[in-house]
Amino acid sequence: MNVLITNKQESLLAGLDVEIIKTLRGEFDAEEIIGTFSNFFFGRMILDLTAIKDFNNITNIQKLSIGLPVEKIILVLPSGQEYSSNMFLSKLISMGFYNFTTNLEGVKYLLESPNTYKDVAHLQQLETPVVPVMMPTQGAVPSGGSSETSPVLNIPQIRIIGFKNVTDQAGATTLIVRIKKELEKYHGLSVKAIEVGKRDFTYFNDASLVSINKAEFLPELSRSGGFDLVIIDMNDLDESSVNEIYYLIEPSIIKINKIARRDKEVFNKLKDKKVVINKSMISNDDIAEFAGESGLKIFSAIRPFNDRSNEAVLTNFLNRIGVIHNSN
């Protein structure tokens, strides 16, 4: 099921032959569009850019990227050099908009074959890098970097921790959001949470959560001054980009067998890594048995928690990784 929002380009979209469950016509504030569709289930949104009030102000488009799932949106851009320039398209891509076109055929194509970042990366103009400086490796260290110092972007000297799902949907996104919440609420720390390569953060309705693509990773870190900690949902980010990583495994039989069939060497690759059993309902004895069978050293285990609760549920884990220091 699709939704359609049109304004000045309504005639262009008149020939669209797809099932539409809701149509808006006219000019709307970004907040109004978000309020209408944030809790409305739809497959794809065909959005005439001119239907966004003051769409020439890029911040109004950015509001939509935060409040709605951008991977479901097809932007129909006005014809004209301003909206087809790499500078403008680069801004859209940086917000996570990968599906945009100026004509009806483009809309039809994107409905059938939506773009990924790889399809639009050639259009993006990346920020001019900061002059490289020498910094300790307590941060992002490119492959081949020195064990003591490494020339990278001007990244603040703060602790940077990555979390990576090993089994499917092992809970990295929810865990990171929970860590940020508890550290800020109970321990007075300033935490920046970054999600790379996905837009799942949008479902938490928290504008402080940052979703970026891989090309934006180092520039985003360079803008992280003033934070006590940066935590990263890595997804497919190169592991050499972060030198402190926790690998999450959800230990259900189906998840373990699925990842093992996909990659027979997966557990060998994780030896000597910091493996965390997440969303675990199994006993400590079963965890020990799993560790023996897989040859892994289990760094920690996190039991399922209510993500709506305001209680501190991660104190033991945060102590274990040295982010906080208390005996409770």
- 144 within domain boundaries: yes
Q: How does DSSP assign 49-60, residue by residue?
A: GGGBTTTTSHHH
By percentage, how much of the chain surpasses pLDDT 70?
A: 89
Specify the pLDDT at position 118: 79
The whole-number average pLDDT for the span 277-285 is 88
Polymer length of the chain:
328
- 205 within domain boundaries: yes
- 194 within domain boundaries: yes
Give the position of tokens 């709605």: 68
- 128 within domain boundaries: no
Residues 115 and 141 in one domain: no
**In whole angstroms, what is the distance from residue 315 CA to residue 19 CA?**
49
Residue ending a domain, among 66, 94, 123, is: 123
Q: Give pLDDT tens digits for 45-75.
A: 999 999 999 998 888 898 888 788 888 999 9
Q: Which two tokens stand for residue 86?
A: 């790499």
Q: Give pLDDT tens digits for 136-179.
A: 333 343 333 433 433 335 566 688 999 999 999 899 999 999 99
Residues 138 and 111 in one domain: no
Residue 124 has pLDDT above 80, yes or no: no
> What's the mean per-residue pLDDT of the chain?
85
Q: How does DSSP assign 122-180, residue by residue?
A: GG--PPPPPPPEEEESSS---TT--SSEEEES---S-EEEEEEESSTT-SHHHHHHHHH
**In whole angstroms, what is the distance from residue 116 CA to residue 88 CA?**
18
Could you tell me the pLDDT band of residue 39, with boundaries at 50, 70 and 90? confident
Q: Tell me the backbone φ, ψ of residue 155, rounded to 5 degrees.
A: -90, 130
Lowest mean pLDDT among 119-133, 138-152, 199-213, 307-321: 138-152
214 DSSP assignment = G
Residues 153 and 116 in one domain: no
Residue 274 has pLDDT above 60, yes or no: yes
Residues 212 and 167 in one domain: yes
Range of the domain at 228: 133-320
Q: Is the pTM higher than 0.85?
A: no
Could you tell me the pLDDT band of residue 313, with boundaries at 50, 70 and 90? very high
The whole-number average pLDDT for the span 298-324 is 90
- 325 within domain boundaries: no
Residue ending a domain, among 93, 123, 153, is: 123
Specify the pLDDT at position 219: 84
In the chain, how many domains are there? 2
- 103 within domain boundaries: yes
Residues 87 and 194 in one domain: no
**In whole angstroms, what is the distance from residue 190 CA to residue 184 CA?**
6
Residues 220 and 249 in one domain: yes
Residues 197 and 273 in one domain: yes
Helix H segments across the chain?
30-37, 58-67, 81-84, 86-94, 104-112, 117-120, 172-187, 217-222, 253-262, 266-269, 284-294, 315-320
Give the position of tokens 């609420």: 185
Q: Which two tokens stand for residue 53?
A: 């009030």
Q: Give pLDDT tens digits for 2-34.
A: 999 999 999 999 889 899 999 999 999 999 999
Residues 227 and 303 in one domain: yes
**Between 246 and 155, where is the model more confident?**
246
| CATH number of the structural domain spanning residue 281 | 3.40.50.300
Residues 186 and 294 in one domain: yes
| CATH number of the structural domain spanning residue 102 | 3.40.50
Specify the pLDDT at position 96: 82
- 272 within domain boundaries: yes
Q: Give pLDDT tens digits for 190-239.
A: 999 999 999 999 999 999 999 999 888 888 888 888 899 999 999 988 88
The whole-number average pLDDT for the span 297-323 is 90
Residues 93 and 145 in one domain: no
Q: Which two tokens stand for residue 14?
A: 């008149």
The whole-number average pLDDT for the span 241-260 is 89
SS3 of residue 228 by DSSP: coil
Residues 99 and 33 in one domain: yes
Residues 149 and 77 in one domain: no
